C-alpha cells in the first residue's frame, strides 16, 4: 500500500492554497480609481477590456494581474513537485491476521 508522507501532505496543502489564490486572482474584478473618486471597472484577468477607451484607462492593470495568476499557479506547481521530490510516498505492507 502507498501512503503520502507527512511532508508531502503539507506541501500539497500549501500548493492547493496557492492554486486557490491563483483562481481567485483570475476571476476577481479589477477597478481603477477615477478622477472624481468613482472606480472605473477594468474587467478581470480572465476577461480584460477589449475597447480602446477602457484599455487606455486601465493600462497594465489586467496584464499585471495575469502575471500574478501565472506566478501563483507556477509556485503551487513548484511546491507540489518539490514536495514529491523531497518527501515522496512511503510504501508499506499490511498483514492480515487470521482469527
pLDDT at 26: 96
Q: Which three cell numbers stand for residue 6?
A: 507527512
Q: Where are the alpha helices (DSSP H) in 6-89?
A: 6-27, 52-58, 61-86
- What confidence tens digit (pLDDT) does each residue in 44-96 have? 999 999 999 888 989 899 999 999 999 999 999 999 999 999 998 887 777 78
Instruction: Specify the 3-state DSSP secondary structure of 50.
Output: coil
- Residue 12 banded pLDDT, cuts 50, 70, 90: very high
Sign of the torsion formed by the C-alpha atoms of 55, 61, 62 and 64:
positive
- Residue 34 banded pLDDT, cuts 50, 70, 90: confident
Amino acid at each position: 500500500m502507498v501512503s503520502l508522507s507527512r511532508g508531502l501532505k503539507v506541501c500539497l496543502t500549501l500548493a492547493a492554497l496557492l492554486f486557490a489564490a491563483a483562481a481567485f486572482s483570475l476571476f476577481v474584478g479589477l477597478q481603477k480609481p477615477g478622477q472624481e473618486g468613482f472606480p472605473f471597472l477594468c474587467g478581470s484577468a480572465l476577461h480584460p477590456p477589449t475597447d480602446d477607451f477602457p484599455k487606455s484607462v486601465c493600462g497594465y492593470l489586467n496584464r499585471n494581474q495575469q502575471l500574478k495568476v501565472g506566478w501563483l499557479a507556477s509556485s503551487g506547481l513548484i511546491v507540489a513537485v518539490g514536495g514529491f521530490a523531497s518527501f515522496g510516498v512511503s510504501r508499506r505492507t499490511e498483514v492480515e491476521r487470521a482469527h
